[in-house]
Chains A and B, each alone.
Chain A
Amino acid sequence: MSLFKLKEFPGTGNFRHGIHPPDNKALSQGSKVEVMEVPESVTLPLLQHLGVPCKQVVKPGQTVRYGEMIGEGQAFVSASLHSPIAGKVKRVNVVTLPNGRHLPAITIQADGDQIPPQKLWDEMRSKNWPRDCISIYDPLTIVKIIHDSGIVGLGGAAFPTHVKVTPNDTRMIDTLMINGCECEPYLTCDYRLMKEAARAIVTGALLTGRAVSAREIVICVEDNKPDAVKKLKEATEQTVIKIAVLKTKYPQGSEKQLIKSVLGLEIPLGGLPSDVGVAMSNVGTMATVARGVIKEAPLTHRVISVSGRGIKTPKNLFVPIGISLGEVIKFCGGITRDAARIIAGGPMMGFSFSDLSAPVTKGTSGLTVLTHDEISQGEETPCIRCGRCVDACPMNLVPTRLALAARYNNPSIASQYHIHACFECGCCSYVCPAKINLVQLIRTGKTLVAAWASR
């Protein structure tokens, strides 16, 4: 029950609980997107998301062109892979991604004439993206192009987009929501994309809206990005697209919370946005859809942000998928002496890693390099049941109960308290005065419950 409402939308513009970490966006938000030159080689994992790895369709020694398909999607929940450079296939080896997964990956060495990446970025930023005559594109054709272009969600989970937009008679889509919230601290890649390439986002949104036959298209942005909102408003003039400006709070950009904020709907536990008639996609994904349909080019590049006080020069970069994270860090001047953790993603849910040869994948939103002063402080002390974690959890769970059930080997309590509803946002660990890493305990708890449930 709330006294507030979001103008034009059924929701209140807010969701329960959550936290307000300092956003630290000032470090990189002022840097215009810079284009990195074509690297010497790129390494492309055959699986960059949930689902089935794609099948390699090139052989070592084979010459490939820019945009040539090197991996073919094998199942419905699978995405194709395309080469971001012209070159020769060197080998297939195993890489370890920051999330710990070991995956086969194709390495391509740059060879021959390259399309200048600056041209690709300039194309993205141009004002020429169409806003009318979207109806010349047939919905199923749009879905097919999305599939063939290897497009996955660029928001982080990298879920294959064609799965989200394939029409389904049992789950009709009413509202297409475009996620420009970027609620993680430090990250600014979506912000810069909205500021510099709003027209591409809008075209992609209109195309995707047509593919799912959505009644409404809404772009959602947090209120700490007023100039991005301004650019989006200009870009959406005379279109049906609405813009929802939401209270800045973590995790506003999480799909369950965002749908609640804007539409007032709750996705059933274990369900998907399509259960409440919503399809949600990141702004970066939308720009990539536009490129795929209008320019007939596959997903080969993305914008990432590199920030934190542990990196010498924070920047926003336009990079090819597959460039090594070490090269990206070097381009930003390297890490500082007091750097403590290098994180792929944001500081709340990102993965810290040490292997700098790992590549940028389709779901890499950026790097956050934190110093010893910026990372979590404090040694663990006993839980005093203060309840702050309960007050912070956006899913309305009882994190202390879940974490201590995990620690003391009690899978039935963990299951009873809905441990699987936790999406590991990190709010509970953030606020805990006893400095217990509740999220890590909950992660082990989920494994405990899975083992117990299958015995």
Chain B
Amino acid sequence: MNPPDWTDENAALIHVAPSPHINDASARTQKMMTDVILALLPVIILSIYLFKFYVVKQLFICIITCMGAEFLFVKMRGKTLTLKDCSAVVTGIILALSLPGSAPWFVGVLASVVAIGIGKIIFGGLGMNIFNPAMVGRAFVMIAFAQLMGAASYENVTGLVDAVSGATPLSALKFNGLSTGTASLFWGTTNGSLGETSTAACLLGGLFLVFRKTASWQIPAGILLSVALIAGITDIAGSHSGFALVHHLFGGALMFGAFFIATDPVTSPLTPRGKWIFGLGTGFLIMIIRLFSGYPEGVMFAVLMMNAVTPLINRWTTPQPMGEA
């Protein structure tokens, strides 16, 4: 703040403001967003190693389109641009990493426009949306371009190692009863959406986010617990020769979804208890969809459904103030 011309050069410029007069300068929304981008680096790097140009292309398309869509829609609303909070970049990255590598350019573009426009801006911008924007975009293209996004499209890639261009582990398990080795599942040398294959990379990034308190720990814990429980029961009931637990925990988008998608603060509950309920519910729905529906993967729909009940969960888990009987 510059002092006006008529003050003494040595005078201090005092102002008044309401309390509190100090805050935690290290806590910033933008920092939370850049934390997420940093945490996604192991996933992105491994993905580039596995999927080569496919992931670079999808990342580029989705990030640019998300930012462009936000610019366009915010301007149409006549509001100030907030691109520098990096939330559009984060949506773009997560969306790109949830697509199959072979998706044509228009899939990424349309998913991004829908993600930002319908998933976020139409609700009022950052903080106002009910559904996870990246998942809204992905759900739209999943249904609009079913062939280009379905199980077969994952096998439609050329120029990649066999392991990475065969059937995805979950669809192999569900449709053909074939299992994949635990090591491949854990390190990620399998086919799948661009960011989901490596449990190790997702865990690394995810634990970083939890440690920085950018992502709550209750949501991933709830998801992993309920998935492990249901997959464990499936194993005990004997339908998959004992591999169900490992496949469901390490395979598919579970790790990616648990740490990067479900933990989006805007669309998940506010209180620790609410976050547990959200996590457990998401895991439960993921397993229901994986086991009993036509889809081999359930993360996207499970998250969207739990987003829908988040306001209700918030109401149910309103904490009791200190001193209330």
Within 8 A of A (CB), among B133-170: none
- With most chain B CB atoms within 10 A of its CB, the pick from A16, A339, A418, A440 is A418
- With most chain A CB atoms within 10 A of its CB, the pick from B125, B318, B320 is B318
A229 at the interface (CB under 8 A from B): no
* CB < 8 Å neighbour of B14 from A340, A424, A437: A340
A396 at the interface (CB under 8 A from B): yes
* CB < 8 Å neighbour of B20 from A382, A401, A429: A429
Given contacts A388-B27, A443-B18, contact A268 B323 (CB under 8 A): yes
| Proximity bits, A179-193, B CB within 8 Å = 1, else 0 | 000000100000000
A1 at the interface (CB under 8 A from B): no
Inter-chain CA distance A270–B245, complex, in Å, is 52
**A44-52, A141-149, A168-176, A372-380: which lies at the interface:** A372-380
With a cutoff of 8 Å between Cβ atoms, the chain A residues found around residue B1 in the complex are 372
Chain A residue nearest to B269 in the complex (CB):
A387
Chain A residue nearest to B324 in the complex (CB):
A269
Within 8 A of A (CB), among B2-32: 10-25, 27-32
Check A352–B318 contact: CB distance below 8 A: no
Check B321–A397 contact: CB distance below 8 A: yes
Given contacts A337-B12, A339-B14, contact A350 B323 (CB under 8 A): no
Check A354–B16 contact: CB distance below 8 A: yes
B72 at the interface (CB under 8 A from A): no
Inter-chain CA distance A103–B60, complex, in Å, is 65
Q: Is the interface of A mostly helix, strand, loop or mixed?
A: loop
Check A339–B12 contact: CB distance below 8 A: yes
**A86-94, A155-163, A341-349: which lies at the interface:** A341-349
With a cutoff of 8 Å between Cβ atoms, the chain A residues found around residue B13 in the complex are 340
Inter-chain CA distance A343–B19, complex, in Å, is 9
Check B323–A267 contact: CB distance below 8 A: yes
With a cutoff of 8 Å between Cβ atoms, the chain B residues found around residue A260 in the complex are 322
With a cutoff of 8 Å between Cβ atoms, the chain A residues found around residue B11 in the complex are 337
Check B126–A21 contact: CB distance below 8 A: no
Within 8 A of B (CB), among A349-395: 349-354, 368, 370, 372, 374-378, 381-388, 390-391, 394-395
B207 at the interface (CB under 8 A from A): no
Inter-chain CA distance A386–B36, complex, in Å, is 14
Check B32–A433 contact: CB distance below 8 A: yes
Check B22–A348 contact: CB distance below 8 A: yes
B128 at the interface (CB under 8 A from A): yes
A336 at the interface (CB under 8 A from B): yes
With a cutoff of 8 Å between Cβ atoms, the chain A residues found around residue B22 in the complex are 21, 185, 347-348, 370, 374-376, 430
B181 at the interface (CB under 8 A from A): no
Check A387–B265 contact: CB distance below 8 A: yes
CB A363 to nearest CB in B, in angstroms, measures 15
Inter-chain CA distance A262–B8, complex, in Å, is 52
Inter-chain CA distance A376–B18, complex, in Å, is 11
Check A421–B18 contact: CB distance below 8 A: no
With a cutoff of 8 Å between Cβ atoms, the chain A residues found around residue B15 in the complex are 340-341, 352, 354
B272 at the interface (CB under 8 A from A): yes
Given contacts A390-B271, A432-B23, contact A341 B17 (CB under 8 A): yes
Check B29–A433 contact: CB distance below 8 A: yes
With A336-B12, A370-B22 known, 17 other A-B pairs at CB within 8 A are A19-B24, A340-B14, A348-B21, A350-B21, A381-B29, A381-B82, A383-B127, A384-B32, A385-B127, A388-B27, A388-B213, A396-B319, A397-B319, A400-B270, A401-B270, A432-B23, A433-B31
23 A-B interface contacts by CB (under 8 A): A256-B322, A266-B323, A269-B323, A271-B323, A335-B12, A340-B15, A341-B15, A348-B19, A352-B17, A352-B19, A370-B21, A375-B22, A385-B127, A387-B270, A387-B271, A394-B322, A396-B320, A396-B321, A398-B318, A421-B321, A426-B20, A433-B31, A437-B18
